[in-house]
Structure formats: C-alpha cells, structure tokens
Amino acid sequence: MPVSELLNAQRNDPSFPDVWEELNWRGLVHVSTDAAGLKELLAGDPIVFYCGFDPTAPSLHLGNLVQLIVMRRLQLAGHHPLGLVGGSTGLIGDPRPTAERTLNTRETVAEWVGYLRGQIERFLSFEGDNPARMVNNLDWTAPLSAIDFLREVGKHFRVGTMLKKDAVAARLNSEAGISYTEFSYQILQGMDFLELYRTYGCVLQTGGSDQWGNLTSGTDLIHRAEGVSVHAIGTPLITNSDGTKFGKSEGNAIWLDAEMCSPYAFYQFWLNTDDADVIARLKVFTFLHRDEIERLEAVVRDEPFRREAQKVLAREATALVHGAEATDAVIAASEALFGQGELDALDASTLAAAVEELPQARLPETATVVQALVETGLSTSLSDARRAIGQGGVSLNNRKVTDDEQTLEGAALAGGRAVLRRGKKTLAGLVIAGE
C-alpha cells in the first residue's frame, strides 16, 4: 500500500468526544501545560502545532515514532502540523544526562537533515485542508549574529531558571559538568517556538517528557516576548512493564530506517512483546480503535497462547513504518522459517534479514548437515546431531533430513542462505559457500 493510501486509511477513533480524550486514553500525555485549556483548544478551530527532530543520527527511532504518531493524530483532528528538522540544534545536541555529545561536522548534520526529513514526510499528509509543512531551524538561526541572539533572545532567559532544568541539573552534578554550548541548547529550542509562533501562529509544541525543560523554555520565552500563553505536551517515555527501557535491543535503538533495522527485525521486535506490555503498545503505536484493542485485551487475558495481540501489533506497526508490501514479505518469511511456507519463494533481502536474526554459521557446501548442526549450536556434538536426525527432528530448508551423511550441496537459497531447524522452534541460519 503506497504511503498516500496508508495515510488516507488512518482515522482517529470516533468513540472519543475529541482528540485530547483519545490521546489521554492511549497514554500519550504524561505532562502538559493547562490540561483544560488544551482540551478546549484542540476541540476548537484548527491550530498550528510543531514537533522538532534533531539530526543526531542518520535515522529516527521508536521514541521519535511516538511523536510522529501524535502529530498525525492531531492532523487527523484538523490541526496544522509543522515538522521541524534541527539543522542548527543538531549541530549542538540537547544535553545528555552523563556527558557531552560529540559534535558532528556541518556536512554530516546537513546530510542527516535530509534523511530525517524524508522519514518525517512519510507519516504526515501534505495535501488537503490542513497540509503539513516542513521547516529547518537553520534557516532562521544561521543569519542571526551572536550579538543579536544575546540581545533579542538571551535577555528573556534567567540563568537561575535554566539551571533548574532536569538535564542541566543532572550534568552540573556530574563529573563531566556541562559546556556553555549544551547549556545554551534550551535557548535555541525556545527560539524555535518563538519563530514559529511569529511566522505561522504556532501555539503548541509536542515532544518527549524528557524534553520538558526545553519545551517550557519556548512557552516561557513567548510569554515574556509576546505576552501570550501557548502550550506544550510531553509524551511519556515508553518503558516495559519490568521497568527496562523500551526500544533497545542489545544496547541498540530500533531504528526506522530499513538499512539500520530491517523490516524483518522490526517485525520480530514487536512480535516478541510481552503480554504485560502488548495492549499499551497497541494503544500507542497503532491506529486501531478502542473496541478492537479491548477485544484483543480480552484475548490476551483468556487465550494468551494465541499471541494474537502480538501478531496484530507487529503487523500494524511494521506496515506503519515500512509499508504493507514489506510487511507481507516479512510475515511470509516468519511463517516460512517455521515450516508454514516455502523458503525458496522469499526474495534475497528478506531471507538474508531473517537469517541474520538467527544463530548462524558459514560452511562450504561439502559440509554435512551433522557438521552444520554442531557449528550452529543446534547440537552439542556429532553424536547428538546424528541422534537428532535419526529421530526425525532435523530439517534443512523445511525438508526433513533422513541421512546423517547428507551434505549442504544444493541447499543454498537466495543469497547463498539456508535455514536449519531442529525440532519445531529451534532455528539456525547457514551461509553456504561453494568450493
């Protein structure tokens, strides 16, 4: 399904009286300015709102996806989104809790601005009565001299208030301290909100709750400089039910770029969601309506072995980020790996991504299946491997192995890959090299 078709199929849930109620039900509001005022504002005439994304990496990740979904829901409610890519703030980076960021080159940041802009544009509609607009804060920051910046913007900030911001306070109390460069980040983000207010009439900024100090820098600046009140919404930091950080896999973020996290790996991430977390994830990361989510909640409670909620979540989230065609391909691969489809029908890239997620070994085609079982760790010894074959519990590319002298010759599928399975669910990948 093309991006335009996917966007056209998205709807907010009509069972809620307004988008503010739906955002709260989905757990997307952790902190905000005046809640009653926001409810009234979002239920009224269309407003302009924005969310900023800094190019500190060549791709957005799952934390950014939360913001993109919030933006799309506000757009579906009739409001006008501004997607800001931080060509200037990305040159600095917001303060991390522990240490200074490594400053990337101007060329790298400019390149990443293009990548992020392309990703953001896939989640918003640029047509209709309330089309999205993309902006880059380098456009209004670069022409500003240091003296003008201090006179026109810096004078509205109080150092005492800036020192109390959580990110700044954490760094001041650390051994690393904080540089003036990163200390100034909140002023730059506040200036963004002021610029967008003056240029577009923007009255709402959304972002993660860990950015709350930066969000309120903008609301405070506009109040001081323009004498008006504007709003901010901080979404919760998504964590698992056991308190661990969400969206991390062996220390690496789950990226939205298919080259950095394959659609197959992305799908498997969601498929492995714990029962205790899956309903909350469905609320945040899908456009399913309340009645369907409540139905799935009952299934998780009464028939958790079906894993239906996880399958729906994986399908919906993967289609949202990578599209329906890629999602169909990874579902086919997932099923084929476990004997419910033909592996040789998979395209090379999907098969390679699937094999990459498995324990694997590289072997010549003259190697035996027995050797492959040991090399991949599916068997503890050659005798254990022969015994497994004798018991009928081994398959190569979903075809049962009956001869313990069988080699890997002719087993290579697309890209020279093959799949070895012991039992029903223990898999390994093979990269087969010719002699």
Last-in-domain residue among 213, 237, 261: 237
**Domain identity same for 326 and 206:** no
CA distance 188 to 15: 40
Q: Do 229 and 250 share a domain, yes or no?
A: no
Whether residue 212 sits in one domain with residue 259 = no
Do 409 and 381 form a contact (C-beta atoms < 8 A)? no
- For residues 164-185, average pLDDT: 83
Identify whether residues 273 and 224 lie together within a single domain: no
> In which domain, by residue range, is 51 found?
3-237
Region 352-371 average pLDDT? 92
In a domain, 407, yes or no: yes
d(CA 83, CA 68): 9
Element (H, E) at 73: helix 62-76
Answer with the residue of higher pLDDT: 241 or 254. 254
Number of domains the chain contains: 3
Helix (H, G, I), strand (E, B) or coil at 420: strand
**Residue 347 located in a structural domain:** no
Give me the half-sphere count of Cα atoms (radius 13 Å) on the Cβ side of residue 413: 25
158 and 184 belong to one structural domain = yes
Collapse the DSSP code of 286 into the 3-class scheme (helix H, G, I; strand E, B; otherwise coil) and give the result. coil
- Whole-angstrom Cα distance, residue 318 to residue 251? 21
Q: Each residue of 76-125: pLDDT tens digit?
A: 999 999 999 999 999 988 877 777 788 899 999 999 999 999 999 999 99
Q: Percentage of residues in the chain with pLDDT exceeding 90?
A: 74
Instruction: State which of 295, 310, 337 marks the end of a domain.
Output: 337
Split at pLDDT 50, 70, 90, the class of 250 is: very low
The radius of gyration computed from the CA coordinates of the chain, to the nearest angstrom, equals 26
pLDDT digits (tens, 9 = 90+) for 228-246: 999 999 999 888 888 777 7
pLDDT of residue 227: 96
Instruction: pLDDT band for 418, please (50, 70, 90 cuts).
Output: very high
Average pLDDT in the 332-339 region?
Answer: 88
Place 435 in a pLDDT band, splitting at 50, 70 and 90: low
- Report the helix count and the strand count for the chain, using DSSP H and E: 20, 13
Q: How many angstroms separate the CA atoms of 317 and 296, rounded?
A: 15
- Residue 253: its pLDDT value, please? 80
Q: Are residues 173 and 287 in the same domain?
A: no
Domain-located, residue 346: no
Check pLDDT > 60 for residue 248.
Answer: no
